[in-house]
């Protein structure tokens, strides 16, 4: 008995020691990885505080300057681009939700001819590289007057945002039992009420996660705004190019522009991080 207890105790202390070591090792590993992953961001922050002349040394000690920030934020119409980008990307996501959620519902619920073909067609919008289709779109946009308009960009962004939202949300709809809708039908509700009161809360995790990802993709889009917008509308991705002059590249200013550009995404991700993982994995596992 005594013996047994002793061995128990010793094995326990051994276990705790092992546990501690494991926890320590895991955290160490995660810390190293975090440093590795965050380093580019850190490097960009450092760059943004350096003068152009100091750009090519790798010394971490220097006298920081805010000149780059002044030049970018005050000297150019960078904020205008920021808001225009917000309008285009946000508008694209809103349109995607308004049109894509009903589409996802139809693909999940109804049987119609060529349903799977249609669903695949929507997914296939993501297959082709943007650069491949950009010239025909450019020509069409020029002819029908969509070139350099908010509407034109929001429209073409659907190629980026729509497939993602439709496919994620469709999985969510498929998991909701049809009987729930029928029960509500027996209860005397119109489809519209059922949809907003019962179904929307159920698809919310997937909808939020996919909409956020869609927003990020739209926000970062480069090819479409580069070719399809000109003077009236400029997104941030395009504006950042401006600091590459013919004779020199103002890396400090590029760094500032990029930092401002990624800030909304980082903030949004921090806020809905948990939603993001759950929302995207839940539907997929059970599907």
Residue from the set 59, 74, 186, 270 that interacts with another protein by CB under 8 A: 186
Q: Does 168 contact another protein by CB under 8 A?
A: no
CA distance readout (Å), 43 to 57, 159, 225, 265, 269: 12, 33, 27, 18, 21
- Between residues 189 and 222, which has the closer beta carbon with respect to another protein? 189
**Number of residues in the chain:** 287
Question: What is the spatial distance between Cα 213 and Cα 280, in angstroms, rounded to a whole number?
Answer: 10
Looking at residue 76, the DSSP 8-state letter turns out to be: S
Span 188-227, contacts to another protein by CB under 8 A: 188-189, 193, 197-198, 201-202
Q: From the CB of 185, what's the least distance to another protein, in Å?
A: 5
Residue from the set 180, 249, 266, 284 that interacts with another protein by CB under 8 A: 180
- Between residues 40 and 201, which has the closer beta carbon with respect to another protein? 201
Question: What is the spatial distance between Cα 122 and Cα 99, in angstroms, rounded to a whole number?
Answer: 13
CA distance readout (Å), 94 to 16, 99, 208, 224, 242: 52, 9, 12, 18, 29
Residue 204: alpha-carbon gap to chain centroid: 17
Which residues have C-beta within 8 Å of that of residue 233, sequence separation ≥ 6?
84, 88, 148, 149, 150, 153, 225
- Between residues 160 and 194, which has the closer beta carbon with respect to another protein? 194
Q: From the CB of 282, what's the least distance to another protein, in Å?
A: 13
Which residues have C-beta within 8 Å of that of residue 260, sequence separation ≥ 6?
72, 73, 78, 82, 236
* Per-position x/- string for 69-108, each x denoting binding to another protein as judged by CB under 8 A, each - no binding: ----------------------------------------
Q: Which residues of 242-273 are buried (b: 16+ CB within 10 A; e: fewer)?
A: bbeeeeeebbbbbbbbbbbbbebeeeeeeeee
- Between residues 60 and 192, which has the closer beta carbon with respect to another protein? 192
- Between residues 40 and 188, which has the closer beta carbon with respect to another protein? 188
Q: Does 142 contact another protein by CB under 8 A?
A: no
Q: Does 183 contact another protein by CB under 8 A?
A: yes
Q: Does 10 contact another protein by CB under 8 A?
A: no
Q: From the CB of 205, what's the least distance to another protein, in Å?
A: 12
Q: Does 177 contact another protein by CB under 8 A?
A: yes
Contacting residues toward another protein, per CB under 8 A:
111, 113, 177, 179-180, 182-189, 193, 197-198, 201-202
């Amino acid at each position: 008995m005594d013996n047994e207890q002793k061995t128990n105790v010793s094995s326990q202390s051994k276990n705790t020691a092992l546990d501690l070591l494991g926890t320590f090792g895991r955290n160490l590993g995660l810390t190293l990885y975090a440093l590795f992953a965050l380093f580019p961001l850190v490097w960009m922050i450092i760059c943004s505080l350096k003068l152009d002349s100091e750009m090519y040394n790798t010394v971490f000690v220097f006298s920081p300057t805010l000149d780059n920030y002044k030049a970018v934020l005050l000297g150019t119409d960078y904020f205008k681009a920021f808001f225009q980008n917000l309008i285009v990307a946000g508008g694209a996501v809103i349109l995607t939700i308004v049109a894509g959620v009903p589409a996802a519902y139809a693909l999940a619920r109804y049987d119609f001819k060529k349903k799977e073909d249609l669903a695949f067609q929507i997914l296939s919008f993501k297959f082709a590289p943007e650069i491949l289709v950009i010239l025909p779109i450019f020509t069409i946009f020029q002819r029908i007057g969509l070139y350099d308009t908010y509407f034109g960009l929001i429209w073409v962004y659907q190629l980026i945002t729509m497939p993602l939202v439709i496919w994620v949300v469709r999985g969510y709809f498929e998991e909701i039992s049809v009987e729930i809708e029928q029960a509500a039908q027996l209860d005397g509700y119109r489809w519209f009420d059922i949809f907003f009161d019962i179904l929307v809360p159920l698809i919310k995790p997937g909808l939020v996660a996919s909409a956020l990802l869609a927003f990020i993709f739209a926000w970062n889009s480069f090819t479409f705004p580069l070719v399809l917008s000109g003077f009236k509308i400029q997104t941030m991705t395009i504006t950042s190019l401006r600091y590459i002059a013919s004779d020199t590249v103002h890396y400090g200013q590029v760094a500032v522009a990029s930092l401002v550009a990624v800030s909304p995404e980082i903030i949004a991700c921090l806020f809905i991080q948990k939603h993001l993982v759950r929302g995207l994995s839940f539907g997929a596992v059970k599907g």
